[in-house]
Amino acid sequence: MTKNLAIRRSLMCITALGTALTLSGCDLAPSYEKVKPHYIVPASWNGQAPFAKANPAADQIPLNWWTMLNDPVLNDLEDKAVKENTTLKAAAERFEQARSLVMKARADLLPHFGIAFGASDNKQSDDSLFRYKGATTASDTFYGGLASWEPDFWSEIRNQVRMQKYAAQEKAADFAGARLSLEADLAEDYIALRGYDAQDAIYVQSVNYYRKAVEMTTTQLQNQAAPQLDVARAKNRLFVAEAAELDVRAQREITEHAIAVLTNTPPEDFHIAPQTEFSFRKLAIPMGIPSELLQRRPDISAAEREMAQANRSIGIARAAFYPHISLNANGGFDAGGFNLATLANSMWSYGATASMPIFEGGMRRAALQYSWSAYRETCDTYRATILSAFREVENEQSRVKLLHEEDIRLQGAASTAIQMQDMTMSLYRGGLSSYLDAIVAQEAALDARISEVRVAVRAEQATVGLIRSLGGGWNDKLLPTPDETMSFGVLQYSGLHTPSPAGEITAASIHQ
């Protein structure tokens, strides 16, 4: 009879387990593809940048896009920044922390096992009411195993796991965005530094020119061919130019310090040799079609992954309305001495617990309503992110196109201003013009040359801005897949310090 009862209980457990596994396929989250908003994108871009193609075979922006500028110094700086920048390393660590949360959530899907053991020696009072057979002391020793499992009937746990996987993907997109921002900031600072080099070279040339002008006016004064006022004007131009050169040098040093910090180098140990020419390769930026921007921008991918998380949270909130069942079992040996491993001293128990909310004052309804509102908020954020991305691309296209055209005209203005400067000085030397005309021409020449360099710098920085707004060669295929976000195996107990590679973020890129 006892044997039949045990068989029936075993069959009931097997049936309950099969039912649990069958019901575990129920997912209460809305179908993401049905509720995901689809943004209507334009068919083409508004403007086109006036670039000559650097590489006709290139049909997309490379991931190391800065190499298109063909500057070896910039290439070395970018490589060092990507490897050494501490802010980028911190972003990578946030991704690894998110992967750990994936494993933590996934642990609830699996049965939990444990062991327990202990011993005690107890003495009762002589006046104890229920003292056993006159004994006042008793020993107890036990050991056994524990097991528990909560069948995921309504996919609550699995939706939590999916949420954490999507969160890890969001952190991976954030890492890509941080890296792109670092690369673009470094390139813009480097372009600015080369602009200061070019301005300093212009000021050095102008200072030398003004010194000769001071010597000329002094000679004219000694020959009584010019008044003292001409000498004062010439010295004034010299001092103003020398002061402006010092200001440019100060700005260059500050920019150099900023580059040093981006490459994780102490500023006092960092120096970039100056150059006299400002020259970067004119680029052809592959624009692609506007719809591709949704896959090429890390911030758009991050917003989309956040939306996917909010969708899963609705399923979790819905699951709270349904019964929750947990299965528990334990067994072992318990005896008054150390002779435990005998059948007579064995013990075991198993059972199931079911709980279901009946009335909680609307707490679960409030959580469900909140989850739907949070999801709609992420949809609005997703749309706003896309709209902002298109605005940035169009803005940078306008800047690139118009700044390059402005630079061409300023090059002409600088050339004619230099001619005016030389002609007025020749006329002054021959006594056919006043030095006031020469001063005006000198100011015009210096202002035109400096303005041309500054606009050229802005045009190149706009090119970098356009590359940044297009995603810098990144695309969402570089994101780790949901399964790749898991950082270790279920039975892995070694190598936990260095996580396995995931997507484009590898242990080597994090732990330098």
Residue 216: pLDDT band with limits 50, 70, 90: confident
Q: Is 232 helix (H, G, I), strand (E, B) or coil?
A: helix
Residue 56: the pLDDT is: 40
Pair 382, 37: CB distance under 8 Å: yes
Domains of the chain: 18-114+154-322+362-510 (1.20.1600.10)
**Mean predicted lDDT score pLDDT of the chain:** 85
- Position 481: which residue type? T
* Edge-to-edge strands, sheet with 346-355: 112-123, 137-149, 324-335, 346-355
| Confidence category of residue 240, pLDDT binned at 50, 70, 90 | very high
Q: Are 457 and 141 in contact (CB under 8 A)?
A: no
For the record, the structure tokens of 98 come out as 């998110």
Q: Which helix (H) or strand (E) holds 421?
A: helix 363-429
- Residue 149 DSSP code: E
Residue 116: closest CA among 330, 326, 329:
330
d(CA 489, CA 204): 64
For 124-168, write each residue's pLDDT tens digit.
776 666 655 555 676 778 778 899 998 988 889 999 999 999 999
Mean pLDDT (whole number) for 86-114 = 92
Out of 28-42, 73-87, 487-501, the most confident range is 73-87
Kindly state the greatest CA–CA separation across the chain.
137
CA–CA gap between residue 296 and residue 96 (Å, rounded):
23
pLDDT of residue 226: 76
Per-residue model confidence (pLDDT) at position 380: 94
SS3 335: strand
Tokens describing residue 475? 């695309």
Bigger pLDDT: 505 vs 211: 211
Backbone φ, ψ for residue 109 (5° rounding): -75, -25
Q: Please tell me the chain's helix, strand, coil percentages from 3-state DSSP, rounded to the nearest 5.
A: 60, 10, 30
Which one-letter DSSP state was computed for residue 198? Answer: H
Q: Which two tokens stand for residue 264?
A: 């994780």
User: What is the 3-class SS of 70-86, one letter each residue?
Assistant: CCHHHHHHHHHHHHHCH
pLDDT, residue 434, reads 82
**Cα–Cα distance measured from residue 177 to residue 261, given in angstroms and rounded to the nearest whole number:** 19
pLDDT in tens, 64-85: 999 999 999 999 999 999 999 9
What's residue 299's pLDDT? Answer: 95
DSSP secondary structure string, 11-77?
A: HHHHHHHHHHHHHTT---SPPHHHHS------SS-S-------S-TT--S--TTGGGGG--HHHHHH
- pLDDT score recorded for residue 283: 81
The number of CA neighbours under 13 Å toward the Cβ of 320 is 16
pLDDT greater than 60 at residue 4: no
Model pLDDT, residue 446: 93
Q: Is the pTM of this model over 0.75?
A: yes
Q: Which residues are within 8 A (CB) of 372 and not within 5 positions of it... i.e. 6 or more apart? A: 314
Q: Give the tens place of pLDDT for each residue, 335-373.
A: 766 566 676 677 888 888 888 888 888 999 999 999 999
Is the pLDDT score of 13 beyond 60?
A: no
What span, in angstroms and rounded, lies between the C-alpha atoms of 373 and 379?
Answer: 10
Do the beta carbons of residue 170 and residue 436 sit within 8 Å? Answer: no
Q: Does residue 193 have a pLDDT over 60?
A: yes
Does residue 50 register a pLDDT over 50? no
Interatomic CA distance for residues 490 and 111, integer angstroms: 12
User: At 6, is the pLDDT very low, low, confident or very high (cuts 50, 70, 90)?
Assistant: very low
pLDDT digits (tens, 9 = 90+) for 423-468: 988 887 877 888 888 888 889 999 999 999 999 999 999 999 999 9
Tokens of 134: 């006159």
Nearest to 472, CA basis, from 60, 54, 50, 47: 60
- Report the 10 Å Cβ neighbour count for 120: 9
Average pLDDT over residues 227-256: 93
Query: Residue 241: what residue type?
Result: A
- Quote the pLDDT of residue 10: 46
Count of CA atoms in the C-beta half-sphere (13 A) of 32: 17
- pLDDT exceeding 90 applies to what percent of the chain? 52
pLDDT, position 20: 46
Q: How confident is the model at residue 260 (pLDDT cuts 50, 70, 90)?
A: very high
Residue 39 pLDDT > 60 = yes
CA–CA separation, 10 vs 348, rounded Å? 14
